[in-house]
Amino acid sequence: MPKLALVLNEPPPYRIPILNRIAASPDVKLKVIFCCRREPNRFWDLPPMKFDATYLRERITTVNGRYIHNNPEVYLALSRFSPDVVIGNGFNPTHLYAISWCALTRRVYVPMTDGTLQSERSLSRVHVGLRRVVYRRARSVIAASNGGFALYQRYGVPRTACFRSCLCIDNDSFRTAEDNAPQKVFDFIFCGRLEAGKRPAFAIEVAARCASLLMRKTRLLMVGSGSLEKSLRLRAQAHAANVEVVFNGFAKQADLPALYQSAKVFLFPTEADVWGVVANEACAASLPVIISPHAGAADELVVDQKNGFVRALDLEQWADCAASLLSNDVLRQAYGQRSRVMVEPYNFDQSARGIIEAVRAAVGSSTSRNQAVRRPV
């Protein structure tokens, strides 16, 4: 049984059930090393963690809105656990320390990314160079999506070395809520942080423009909190004749299924999301999704004219798509049912299996190339 250490920035709620399943597997012995307990802009409520976890002393620097973790004590944490395989999901200094620890101790490092070609299109030469070195030396790699596979292949990683650990949510909790679904009192739901990159103001504009096309007032439920809430309330007032906007505020995970079930169409107008688990939530709630091509879930979980629409952030296009769904219950319900089917493979068991298979491949190939890499457990 190989010993596996995962080095992660923080404990995200959608990853914890996956880690719980890996910890329960007889295939690996797991330790998770977190750079911090929670990044400053996160308000997650976390499920129970049933795995061995270590929290490093927090050393966070903010650069252009991004959190950079610099925890040199990861060396000590890795040395104490002495894993056969280390998985890291980034290139923060902490992850670079973990990579160097593996190189010095001749252990196996497996990169894992949620990123895509689009999300990494503006990387500096230094960052590209780091990835080129790490990816080409890796015996296996882990991606969250087809976009991640394309990213690895751009760096020369063969497809046979790529394993999938999808981003997912508890699909069953949304299906249970559907059995006791409330009346769909909202035409639209937006769920996410109320920040510029999520484009919540665009969602209000879509709902208002759609009202003009339908010649009736629409209703939009906004779930989330953030720095734009005050300005969004002012915008909602300006469109009050065409759309009623209800601000729910931040919602706990347990409250989300009922909120999604209260709406007919999910709006996801992000400017940049490596995936977007809110799309999983909407699909699990049997909603059609209108999504921008800047989300990793676009054209993979949400397929144009199959369970929703993939459209550039053009107001008229989004309003036309929204009106077509709200004026045709048969079409809307058919898209919603396809969403429910299409999200089924995105589940915790499949995601955990992808990580375990990547570890098996990495350890197997390392022993075939150099018996000193793997030590007896």
pLDDT averaged per 10 residues in sequence order, the chain, 377 residues: 96 94 96 93 85 95 88 97 97 97 97 93 92 95 96 95 97 78 89 96 98 98 96 98 97 93 97 96 97 96 98 98 98 97 97 97 64 31
Q: Which residues contact 234 (CB under 8 A, 6 or more apart)?
A: none
CA pair distance 359, 25, nearest whole angstrom: 13
Residues 200 and 114 occupy one common structural domain: no
Q: Look at residue 201 and give its three-state secondary structure.
A: helix
- Residue 160 sits in the same domain as residue 283: no
CA of 323: how far to CAs of 196, 215, 229, 318, 355, in Å? Answer: 25, 10, 26, 9, 41
Say if residue 22 is in the same domain as residue 149: yes
In a domain, 105, yes or no: yes
* Residue 320 and residue 355 in one domain: no
Assigned domain for 25 exists: yes
Give residue 377's pLDDT.
Answer: 26
Structurally, how many domains does the chain consist of? Answer: 2
One domain, residues 318 and 358? no
CA dist., res. 75 & res. 73, Å (int)? 5
pLDDT for position 179: 61
The two tokens of residue 131 are 């990835």
Query: Residues 331, 286: one domain?
Result: yes
User: Do both 155 and 222 map to the same domain?
Assistant: no
Contact 263, 281 (CB under 8 A): no
Note whether 87 and 114 are within 8 A (CB).
no
pTM passes above 0.85: yes
Residue 155 lies in a domain: yes
* Whether residues 202 and 266 fall in one domain: yes
Q: Residue 241 sits in a domain of what CATH number?
A: 3.40.50.2000
How far is residue 55's CA from residue 188's CA, in Å, rounded to a whole number? 40
The strand pair at 85-88 and 3-8 is best described as parallel
Q: Are residues 187 and 243 in the same domain?
A: yes
Q: For the residues of 331-377, what is the DSSP string, one character each?
A: HHHHHHHHHHHHTTT-SHHHHHHHHHHHHHHHHHHHHHH-TTSS---
What pLDDT score does 39 carry? 84
My answer on whether 144 and 15 are in the same domain is yes
**Is the same domain home to 40 and 124?**
yes
What is the span of the domain harbouring residue 276? Answer: 171-342
Cβ neighbour number for residue 315 with a 10 Å cutoff: 14
Question: Is residue 266 domain-resident?
Answer: yes
- Here the tokens at position 15 are 């990853």
Q: Is residue 374 part of a domain?
A: no
Residues 94, 106 within the same domain? yes
